[in-house]
Structure 1
Amino acid sequence: MPDIRTMYLQVLQVLMQSGPEEARSYSSTLKPLISSMPPQEVTLLHDRCMRELTGPARPEDVVLYYQQSFQILSEAISFCTSQSEQVGREPSRRFTDRLMQDSSYPPSNSKYENVLQHMDSGIALFDQEGFLSFANVKLGQFLGLPRKSMIGRTFYELVRLRKLSRGMRKLLIKLHREMFVYRLPFQEVLDEKGQHFLVTAKYDEELDGDILISVKDVTDFKRIEQSVYYNDKLAMLGKIAASIAHEIRNPLTSIRGFIQLLQPELLRLGKQDYADIILSEIDRANDIIFEFLNSSKPTAPVKQKIQIASLIKEVVLLFESEALLKGCDIQLSESDPNLYVWVDVKQIKQVLLNIVKNAIEVMSDGQKEHGLIRIRTIKVDHQVWIYIEDNGRGMDQKTLSKLFDPFFTTKEDGTGLGLSVCYRIIKNHGGVIHVESEVGEGTSFRIQLPLN
């Protein structure tokens, strides 16, 4: 006969593969095995099994698995509770209360409470009168409150605690409305620090009016999910670029050739301007296709040793006259002449040109009387950091979060591929590109490249 852990794993696997309804039929075989277990041991068993099962799972599925598994855990604890009360043992439904109050369960020595206290999820139990009867350490960390200051309080007393931040207070009020009033079983929320939390509530008749709350930090899962989403977009971009290159580039070349052949005739008719416009528009279309191709083909950099100061000076010389015409200055700080990097010169120059060009275009919109672009380099450990800063109009957080996404642009005639290509180039060099910006305060790009 399989052991309890194997059976529990099987129930959770069925849950993930076939859904809750199918898992319930399997859990009926499991219930006799756990009937003699304290709820604390069931919680520990559940936590270990979920860690094992979600390890190889796709990031986007992990959150869903935890949502569904919480229902299995609650049913298992409720079953243990009913069994212990039927045979006259210590009632387990309020095992958390007993851990806090009964001298036979010393909080400092109870290994079961330690399990609950050190779970990676925040656990809270509100009794039927609305008082918080149990809260573990992780919940206190999430809320930024001492655990002891929360026990025995109602929800309204909790949100009035002075140590609770304003942002967290608003978040708790929203959760109360969604989960306590509207009885929604789970919510995914974002706190003031940008952390993602999955909050699950269990309302069950077997809990006799109690409400069991679980809070799990899923920030890492969200970051992995965003990374997967970004890679999927790049894959889609590659397919689109290849299709465009084959379907459009060849006809454009033919059209351009015929227009050039017709130029003498158009010149005789006084229509040379038409030919010039057609040729410039064809060249612009070819440039867009070229950007698509660069975005879809992650070519490996061909590196060579170059003085970083000379590379940046070349970029400044290329834009110096254009910047003056558009009413802004480029200020280049002195760099260490002995600072060399191994990079693909063409690719890194493309990154610097793109960022400086964007800064000039932003500051030429008339919002600033005098635009200023500052470029400086510093050595930090085994890296060189290149700062490109401007005093333009800046960006909000929503724009910043999508800045390197393919096709995202704030320009009327932009393709949304320039910064996406820059991001890929720096990543292929083993570096990092970081952006900080505030509306009305300007923008700062920081490019970090390894020295060797």
Structure 2
Amino acid sequence: MFITSAPTNENYDIGFTELLLRIGFTLCVSLIVTMVLLSGFWQVNPGLCQTAVELTYLFITTAVFWVVWYTYEKNSPSVNIMGLGFLIVTVLEILQIIYFLGLGIQPENFADMGIRYLAVSRTVQIIIIAVMVAPLKCKLNKWLGIAMALLTSFLLSYAMFHFPSVSPASAFAKSALYCIFIIGSLLTLVLIKNRPFGKDSLTYKYICLALIVVITSDLSLAIYGDEITFFLVFGHVTKIAYMYYLFKGIVENVLTHPYIKIESVNVHMSKIINGLPLGLMVFDADYSLAFANIKAEEIFGYNCNEVRESDELKELFARQFYVTNKSDNLNHKMVKVKNRQGADINLRVYQWALGEEGYIQLIIDAKKEQELENLHLQTQTVLNSMKNLFLLLDKNKYIVQCNKAFLQMIDLSEEDVWGMTLERFTALMQCTWREVLTEAGTEDKLNKMYEAILITSSGESKEVMFDLAPVYNVERVLVGYIALGIDVTRLKAEQLRLQQQEKLAVLGQMAAGIVHEIKNPLTAIKRFSQILKSQTTDERLRSYVNIIETEANGVNQVVSDFLSFARPRAPALKPISINNLITSLSLIIESQLFIKNVTLKMDIAKEERTVLADEDQLKQVIMNMVKNAIDAMANTIRPMLILSTKYNKKNGEMAMVLSDNGKGMSAEEISKIGTPFYTTKDAGTGLGLSVCLQIIKQHGGRIDVNAIAGSGSTFSIILPCIDNVI
């Protein structure tokens, strides 16, 4: 990460102005060298001068190839293509020199072979540079590349002898050939201009310089005739400059630039390491201190050079920070040392192995670390003492801190919550949010209040009120959010209970009057029907009287249930055993189930705790539940009722569970359980289950329902044990 982002002190970009200056400088130097050579040396020794120029070309092309070859694996595909291409050029330059020297090996009836090789070499150079400019991604194998380059050189040389009639020997042909070279160089410049520079930007910029210089060289060589003129010498001199820039571009890219960049990265990394607020030391394989950052030097009062140059200090550091195994990584160890002033320092040391090269030790002043830990501990202690819920989020809404009250409410540990996103936490807790209307005068629109309902890990439903507020730094930049909340589950339940009591109080007053008005005529109806039944022998009249009595009893039951619901009596609480209660009712339940052909299966818990309850009211609830289960299994082929007891040690609760395989209930029916006068039976009153729920609530318990339409229902009557009753 640091290497790719490290800044460099050198600016390798060649701007347009610098490009013009370099070109101007190159042409001026070439002009001066040309004038010197034309002063008499070139006319006296033309062959020697021509050979020297060609050998200079050969040296540069060979050097370019070997530089690329020895750095092949680290180079980009474009640079490698250029190196292999210059191998081809090197072979052609060698053949050109051989034929130019006139060693007597030129075939008869062939044109000047030196000129032919020169033309082919120059063509290959243009093609190689053009191919290099193309955006290459795949890397050619090193040995396959050199084989292809040598094969290409052989094929080009071999082709020279099969086309003897093609020769640029005439002055016009030479000029036309050099014009073609100029056009090729110009087209390559256009390609380079449109190509985005990347890793090889240095190479491309030097290629631009080389191409501009070689255009002047080709132009000069296209103008000269057969005599030694200014243009001939200037063309050869600028051609050397062209080869020099190609060579410099490759060398700068594959040799000079990487080392300068590494040095720059080292300087950048040193700044980062020295900027660490922790001490860092590097020891070599001989336990000698090799490096220490500024913080480490501040802790000890010695700099790294002092320790390395002093045998006494070197031995002291080696002894104090000696490790038995350099290849081990240590979480931490405590070391007590003396600084330059002789004061004792307690250090916490962490170690990382560097293989066989040594190891790194990170040192922390234990005193300052303890101060930070104490500050954090004090902050966490204050938060944990709060009864309100506390939650701290970063700007990306990751949970970074919370207090004990919050963890106890959701029944999770710090490790489970810290680092979790708010979205993930909401999904985990099956949380539903509702924004509460805030005051219109609130300045910060991020200040919001929410009402949330969540399910804890133990399956308990909680209602919470949260006040969410943003946290800003000194520059008013948002850095996170803070949420303060309160668990209102009991408050909501108490409010609901009070509302229900108020409703029942009003309903009780109405019920007393209604029952009084109904029971008086109902009693008269029943008495007169009994008189009629005893004094008549007409069977048809007696059947009518039986119907009157049945309907009157039904009305009486509805009125009694209504009165029980509206004006429930207070339970007479005493310690009872749920297991004994179920066992005492087993014979009565079995007799009712036997009549309906229902199988009973009982599962009594081995471990139990007593509960405070009204035994008669609990029997009423159980028998009512059994009756509902029998009715629900009326059309079941093999009806079965499972009656069991359970002890929940974690929550301190006893449960009576009734499971049937009847018709079950839909989600809508479950939501309406406990609603007065709601029933799915043809002859039901809709008050039986409402009375049961009311009785269990008076006992401080609850009734949980789990049912699926067509798959049966399970009712769990849950009561707190005596130890958990407040």
TM-score between the two structures when normalised by the length of structure 1: 0.53
The 3-state SS of whatever aligns with 1:389 is strand
Map of 1:353 onto structure 2: 623
Map of 1:109 onto structure 2: 375
Map of 1:442 onto structure 2: 713
In the TM superposition, residue 357 of structure 1 has moved relative to its aligned partner by 0.6
In the TM superposition, residue 356 of structure 1 has moved relative to its aligned partner by 0.9
Map of 2:551 onto structure 1: 281
Q: Aligned pair 1:214/2:483, yes or no?
A: yes
Give the 5 Å matches for 1:15-414. 108-109=374-375, 115=382, 119=386, 120-124=388-392, 136-138=401-403, 141=407, 149=419, 158=421, 164=425, 166-167=427-428, 171=432, 185-193=448-456, 194-201=461-468, 214-216=483-485, 217-261=487-531, 270-295=540-565, 296-298=567-569, 300-301=571-572, 308=581, 311-324=584-597, 328-332=598-602, 347-364=617-634, 366=635, 368-376=636-644, 386-395=656-665, 403-404=673-674, 407=677, 409-411=679-681, 413-414=683-684
2-side partners of 1:449 and 1:319: how far apart? 29
2-side partners of 1:109 and 1:356: how far apart? 61
Mapped contact 2:447–2:469 kept (Cα < 8 A): no
In the TM superposition, residue 285 of structure 1 has moved relative to its aligned partner by 0.7
Structure 2 CA distance for partners of 1:267 and 1:432, relative to 1, 3 Å: same
Mapped contact 1:234–1:406 kept (Cα < 8 A): no
1-side partners of 2:471 and 2:545: how far apart? 76
1:106-134 C-alpha deviation (Å, 9 max, x unpaired): 575165676457642334577xxx65599
Mapped contact 2:611–2:719 kept (Cα < 8 A): no
1:188-229 C-alpha deviation (Å, 9 max, x unpaired): 121244222223345899996869653423223223333334
Mapped contact 1:304–1:342 kept (Cα < 8 A): yes
1-side partners of 2:647 and 2:428: how far apart? 38
1:403-444 C-alpha deviation (Å, 9 max, x unpaired): 45655544454333323434555677x685644523235314
2-side partners of 1:298 and 1:241: how far apart? 14
What is the aligned residue count? 324
Q: What letter matches 1:166 in structure 2?
A: A
Mapped contact 1:241–1:293 kept (Cα < 8 A): yes
Q: What letter matches 2:629 in structure 1?
A: A
Structure 2 CA distance for partners of 1:115 and 1:407, relative to 1, 3 Å: farther
The 3-state SS of whatever aligns with 2:375 is coil
1-side partners of 2:527 and 2:546: how far apart? 13
Q: What letter matches 1:319 in structure 2?
A: Q
The 3-state SS of whatever aligns with 1:149 is coil
TM-score between the two structures when normalised by the length of structure 2: 0.35
Q: What letter matches 2:551 in structure 1?
A: E
In the TM superposition, residue 171 of structure 1 has moved relative to its aligned partner by 4.7
Structure 2 CA distance for partners of 1:385 and 1:122, relative to 1, 3 Å: closer
In the TM superposition, residue 331 of structure 1 has moved relative to its aligned partner by 3.4
RMSD of Structure 2 on Structure 1 (CA): 5.4
Structure 2 CA distance for partners of 1:124 and 1:377, relative to 1, 3 Å: closer
Mapped contact 2:426–2:432 kept (Cα < 8 A): no
In the TM superposition, residue 372 of structure 1 has moved relative to its aligned partner by 0.2
1-side partners of 2:694 and 2:675: how far apart? 11
1:380-411 C-alpha deviation (Å, 9 max, x unpaired): 99998654332234456776676456555444
Mapped contact 1:431–1:450 kept (Cα < 8 A): no
2-side partners of 1:280 and 1:242: how far apart? 23
1-side partners of 2:644 and 2:470: how far apart? 59
Q: What letter matches 2:569 in structure 1?
A: P
Mapped contact 1:199–1:214 kept (Cα < 8 A): yes
1:9-50 C-alpha deviation (Å, 9 max, x unpaired): xxxxxxxxxxxxxxxxxxxxxxxxxxxxxxxxxxxxxxxxxx
Mapped contact 1:305–1:343 kept (Cα < 8 A): yes
Structure 2 CA distance for partners of 1:122 and 1:340, relative to 1, 3 Å: closer
Structure 2 CA distance for partners of 1:421 and 1:319, relative to 1, 3 Å: same
Structure 2 CA distance for partners of 1:384 and 1:318, relative to 1, 3 Å: farther
Structure 2 CA distance for partners of 1:135 and 1:380, relative to 1, 3 Å: closer
The 3-state SS of whatever aligns with 2:520 is helix
Mapped contact 2:450–2:467 kept (Cα < 8 A): yes
2-side partners of 1:186 and 1:395: how far apart? 37
The 3-state SS of whatever aligns with 1:370 is coil
1-side partners of 2:720 and 2:382: how far apart? 44
Q: Which runs of 5+ in 1 are unaligned?
A: 1-102, 151-157
In the TM superposition, residue 377 of structure 1 has moved relative to its aligned partner by 5.7
Structure 2 CA distance for partners of 1:405 and 1:118, relative to 1, 3 Å: farther
Map of 2:688 onto structure 1: 418
Q: What letter matches 2:464 in structure 1?
A: F
The 3-state SS of whatever aligns with 1:415 is coil
Mapped contact 2:610–2:721 kept (Cα < 8 A): no
> Could you tell me the percent identity over the aligned residues?
25
Q: What letter matches 1:443 in structure 2?
A: T
Larger Rg: 2
2-side partners of 1:249 and 1:352: how far apart? 28
In the TM superposition, residue 235 of structure 1 has moved relative to its aligned partner by 3.2
Q: What letter matches 2:584 in structure 1?
A: L
In the TM superposition, residue 332 of structure 1 has moved relative to its aligned partner by 4.8
Mapped contact 1:242–1:293 kept (Cα < 8 A): yes
Mapped contact 2:654–2:719 kept (Cα < 8 A): yes
Q: What letter matches 2:453 in structure 1?
A: L
Q: What letter matches 1:196 in structure 2?
A: E
Mapped contact 1:123–1:214 kept (Cα < 8 A): yes
Q: What letter matches 2:714 in structure 1?
A: T
Mapped contact 1:311–1:349 kept (Cα < 8 A): no
1-side partners of 2:712 and 2:393: how far apart? 46
In the TM superposition, residue 305 of structure 1 has moved relative to its aligned partner by 9.8
1:40-65 C-alpha deviation (Å, 9 max, x unpaired): xxxxxxxxxxxxxxxxxxxxxxxxxx
2-side partners of 1:254 and 1:372: how far apart? 43
1-side partners of 2:477 and 2:601: how far apart? 68
2-side partners of 1:272 and 1:323: how far apart? 29
The 3-state SS of whatever aligns with 2:557 is helix
Q: What letter matches 1:357 in structure 2?
A: K
In the TM superposition, residue 246 of structure 1 has moved relative to its aligned partner by 1.4
Structure 2 CA distance for partners of 1:322 and 1:402, relative to 1, 3 Å: same
2-side partners of 1:149 and 1:401: how far apart? 37
In the TM superposition, residue 242 of structure 1 has moved relative to its aligned partner by 1.6
Mapped contact 2:707–2:714 kept (Cα < 8 A): yes
Mapped contact 1:233–1:406 kept (Cα < 8 A): no
